[in-house]
Amino acid sequence: MFYHNINPTLIHLGPLQIRYYGLIFVIGFIIAYYMIPYLAKKRNLELTKNDTADLIFYLIIGTIIGARLFYILFYNLPFYLSNPLSIFAVWQGGLSFHGGLVGSITAIYYFCKKKQFNILGLLDIIVIPLSLALMLGRIGNFINAELVGTITSVPWAVKFPGYEGFRHPSQLYESLKNLVIFITLWNIKGKHLKKGILFSTFIIMYSILRFAVGFVRAPDPQLGYIIFNLTMGQLLNIVMFAIGIFFIFRINKKEE
């Protein structure tokens, strides 16, 4: 068993703090910046360096706005209605993966309309560095001692500061889950697949694996379990799975 005593702050520069999580967030977009052109070339998508820079900018804006809005609407709306200025305090936490995904897809849609790219072809590329960035992000959650698991007695249980009992390191389970998704997508990226299959594979794999991890991840304290002993994250993943299946069905019905 492990006692978590990791300092989430890497460097103190006077009043300025450089935290591991923020650094990981930046690294994720750097990975995307360099990986996207490589994948675009492999998938015969003409994407210039300027296009990539514009795309990353749109993704940053879309991801943050979408992640924040979803968290406010689905996870803690009463609090933010009572404290509207806290809506802008993103540094205090409160971001939803599902909202970030919706926000990033919206940003990609806008980018594709502006640049005349095929959105499914671009989504196929984006989900590969996304899965790798998500793997790193969950390690950041572990360092921050947040999004902890349920109480357990397994040998690798972790005692997180501020939480009762030893708990599943669910953040690391999710990191491993995202690594599995990345390896899967990376290995099939060169195969002759219809546009949108890689994206749909990501959606389906993520929703199934995240739903499974949800059984050993503690629910958000302000929500608890919603229905059938499921968390809000698990319910959103059911919707996500249905969307992935719908995409697979529609794509396979299209002619080559």
* Domain count of the fold of the chain: 1
What is the tens place of the pLDDT at every residue in 2-12?
A: 999 999 888 88
More confident: 43 or 72: 72
Residues 6+ apart with CB under 8 A from 155: 1
Task: Quote the pLDDT of residue 160.
Answer: 97
Q: What percent of the chain has pLDDT over 90?
A: 70
C-alpha dihedral (227, 230, 231, 232), degrees to nearest 10: -60
Residue-range definition of the domain harbouring residue 29: 2-253
Q: Is 126 helix (H, G, I), strand (E, B) or coil?
A: helix
Q: Are 175 and 213 in contact (CB under 8 A)?
A: no
Q: What percent of the chain has pLDDT over 70?
A: 98
Best CA proximity match to 146, nearest among 136, 156, 160:
160
Among the residue ranges 74-78, 152-156, 207-211, the one predicted with the least confidence is: 74-78
Q: State the DSSP H helix or E strand holding residue 131, giving kind and residue range, or none if neither.
A: helix 119-143
Task: Quote the pLDDT of residue 170.
Answer: 97
The chain-wide mean pLDDT, for the chain, equals 91
Task: Quote the pLDDT of residue 187.
Answer: 94
Q: What is the largest CA-CA distance in the chain?
A: 60
What is the tens place of the pLDDT at every residue in 119-162?
A: 999 999 999 999 999 999 999 999 999 999 999 999 999 999 99
How many residues are given for the chain? 256
Is residue 211 scored above 60 in pLDDT?
yes
More confident: 223 or 201: 201
* pLDDT band for position 255 (cuts 50, 70, 90): low
What is the tens place of the pLDDT at every residue in 166-189?
A: 999 999 999 999 999 999 999 999
- Gap between the Cα atoms of 123 and 93, Å rounded: 27
CB atoms near residue 73 (< 10 Å): 12
Q: How far apart are the two ends of the chain, measured CA to CA in Å? A: 53
Give the gyration radius of the chain's Cα atoms: 19
Facing residues of 159 across strands?
A: 3
Is residue 256 scored above 70 in pLDDT?
no
- Gap between the Cα atoms of 251 and 120, Å rounded: 10
* pLDDT band for position 93 (cuts 50, 70, 90): confident
Task: Quote the pLDDT of residue 228.
Answer: 92
What is the tens place of the pLDDT at every residue in 25-41?
A: 889 889 999 999 999 98
